[in-house]
Amino acid sequence: MQGKGELYDCEVWFYQGKTDMGLPPGFNLLFFKEGGSGSYKLYSPTNDGPQALMAGYLGSSTDYYEAYKKLRDIDPMLADTSLSLIPGDQTSAYGRPSLVSDMMLQKVESAAQRMVEEKYARKFLEYKDVVEVEYSANYLDSDSMVRVLRAPSGATFVHYAIEPRRLSVNDFEKKYYTVLKVNGNVTTLDGRLVYQFDKTVNLEWGEEDMAARSHQPFDYHDVFPLIPGDYKLSILVKNEVSKEFTSLEQALRIPGESAGILMTAPILAYNVGPADPANVKVRPFRMANRQLYCQPGRVFLSKDTLSVAFQLLGMGDDIKAKSQVKYAFFRQDQPFRETVRNATDYTTLPDIIESFPLADFPPDHYRVQVTIVADGAEIVTAKDEFDVTFADAIPRPWIYARVLPELSDPLYTRLTGLQLYNLGRFEESRASLASAHGRRPSEDTAAELARALLALKDFASIGPLLAPYLEQEKPARYEAYLLAGRAALESGDFARSLEIYDSAVAHYGANTALLNFVGESYFGLGRFEEARAVWERSLSADPNQPEISKKIDLLKSRKNP
């Protein structure tokens, strides 16, 4: 809060759900500008006292009770916080500051230092190969959330949200801007790369928006398709302006369509809005034609309505007819409330959104557990945790959300094919990539399909596939020359491979890989002296090529080279 004339500038932050760090279930931290100037400092009830918060206070510096009464006349809530940072703490009665609060502050400071040191060291080691030196000392903590949802098309999408602790920006001529680089990769549990993406997010806004957004968290939401399997997801977000970085890591299980009855992990939303049915693009955290507004921290106000959203997959009509959906709420692991609905009540299956007003949920830590019950037996269950805060208001985030094309777009068939290729499932990959290329032909999709054909040793199909791009006026992609040349080599058409590789050299210059392929073509044509000359040129550029050395020695040993 800004100074009210009688008060110095101060801010009260409320925290809860930190009991694993030895802290109370809920507590405040108060920051103030000592003497009304300089940086904010952390307030101590016993070391500072209520008098430190008031401008021009003329009372005794040791009479906390008189200072408390004076502060209470100005701001009653701040006065109570000035004596105890722990709501409900009775040790601050009669105007005496709470020693319990100062003991808690010691734990906060030591826990924060320990967490920063441990997390920074861990993140730096994890990302030292992909984070530039200037970022290395600037790891930024963040909250994150990942959920897996199945689209009506049957494809599975990974939805994720990242909320960094802050968003640093630059300003120029009353414009505020920053650039985020988002790098993500999905690997199998043994480290095989399945999918990778790089995205650039340019953010810019004016003074009016900046005034509003400076008090709001920033959330980055995104979504991408992923084929069934068990994976590890890793996402790195770098702020190009401040040289800060944050990350997300999580294990993923993408179920197949024949995996039986499944329930996705719940999404806990603070608001649910209508989605335009005419807008069929794929958006993060959208289901049942509704847009879910959610925050990774999952903190709610008592005046909020909590929406629990999830999918119930693989349930046939026979099971559905006799099933119930049980919502069990636990407060600090103790049963608090239970609501039961018939599965047939939900007309949007497999999507389910159920809302619960929180007006009679006292501030505390909760768990919601959703269970499907049929004939008295539990079939499947999922759960998540959330907090109801003592605070009267929470700054909800401003959200930057990536949007993908509609589900009928061939992009998804293409991405499926690439993921299958990376998993070594070449036959399935060929089918998907051929479909994608047939629906939206391009040099990129042709090269991707050619890689799958090469893996299947279908060399005869590669030449006609890439020919239109090799014969166009502008140079083809470098990879197109490599793939077409390799297919010609493997097919024994050495004249064609030599023609293709010579074109690649003309457009992209010579390198050892191209020189070696040119040598192979000459060798196949029986032009051994030319093969030897080209290989020797390659070897002079990179002497560490034992296979090329053997081929040169073989040619030298021939009686009639």
How large is the average pLDDT for residues 7-18?
Answer: 80
Tally of domains within the chain: 3
194-209: pLDDT as tens digits? 999 999 999 998 888 8
Q: Judge if 368 and 281 occupy the same domain.
A: yes
Q: Judge if 469 and 531 occupy the same domain.
A: yes
Residue 457 belongs to some domain of the structure? yes
Query: In Å, what is the CA distance from 454 to each residue of 186, 192, 427, 513?
Result: 24, 20, 11, 17
Q: Judge if 402 and 463 occupy the same domain.
A: no
Residue 211 belongs to some domain of the structure? yes
Residue 93 belongs to some domain of the structure? yes
Q: Judge if 468 and 347 occupy the same domain.
A: no
Q: Judge if 254 and 355 occupy the same domain.
A: yes
Q: Is the pLDDT of residue 467 over 70?
A: yes
Residue 501 belongs to some domain of the structure? yes
**pTM for the model:** 0.78
Closest CA to 453 of 469, 431, 482: 431
Q: Residue 311: beta bridge partners? A: 351
Residue 431 belongs to some domain of the structure? no
Task: Yes or no: say if 107 and 86 are a contact pair by the CB < 8 Å rule.
Answer: no
Q: Judge if 274 and 354 occupy the same domain.
A: yes
Confidence of residue 273 (pLDDT cuts 50, 70, 90): very high
Task: Yes or no: say if 36 and 9 are a contact pair by the CB < 8 Å rule.
Answer: yes
Q: Which pLDDT score is estimated for 37?
A: 80
Name residue, tokens 């930190």: 18
CATH number at residue 471: 1.25.40.10
Q: Residue 367: beta bridge partners? A: 330, 385
How large is the average pLDDT for residues 435-443?
Answer: 97
CA geometry: angle at 254 spanning 249 and 259, to 5°?
A: 150
Q: Count CA within 13 A, CB hemisphere, residue 416.
A: 22
Residue 377 structure tokens: 């037996």
Q: Judge if 398 and 276 occupy the same domain.
A: yes
Q: Judge if 33 and 151 occupy the same domain.
A: no
CA geometry: angle at 500 spanning 499 and 502, to 5°?
A: 65
Q: When comparing pLDDT for 243 and 156, which is higher?
A: 156
Residue 422 belongs to some domain of the structure? no
Q: Of 406, 427, 454, which closes a domain?
A: 406
How large is the average pLDDT for residues 289-295?
Answer: 95
Q: Of 75, 108, 141, which closes a domain?
A: 108
Can you give the residue range of the structural domain that contains 465? 440-557
Q: Judge if 248 and 353 occupy the same domain.
A: yes
Query: CA-CA distance, 413 to 435, in Å (whole number)?
Result: 7
Q: Which pLDDT score is estimated for 530?
A: 94
Q: Where are the beta strands (DSSP E) in 375-469?
A: 377-388, 398-401, 404-406
Handedness of CA 409, 412, 417, 422 (dihedral sign): positive
Q: Judge if 322 and 177 occupy the same domain.
A: yes
CATH number at residue 322: 2.60.40.1930
Residue 116 belongs to some domain of the structure? no
Q: Judge if 217 and 365 occupy the same domain.
A: yes
Residue 471 belongs to some domain of the structure? yes
Query: CA-CA distance, 54 to 70, in Å (whole number)?
Result: 9
Q: Is the pLDDT of residue 561 over 50?
A: no
Confidence of residue 213 (pLDDT cuts 50, 70, 90): confident
Q: Which pLDDT score is estimated for 118?
A: 53
Closest CA to 512 of 489, 542, 554, 532: 542
Query: CA-CA distance, 146 to 140, in Å (whole number)?
Result: 19
Q: Judge if 137 and 76 occupy the same domain.
A: no
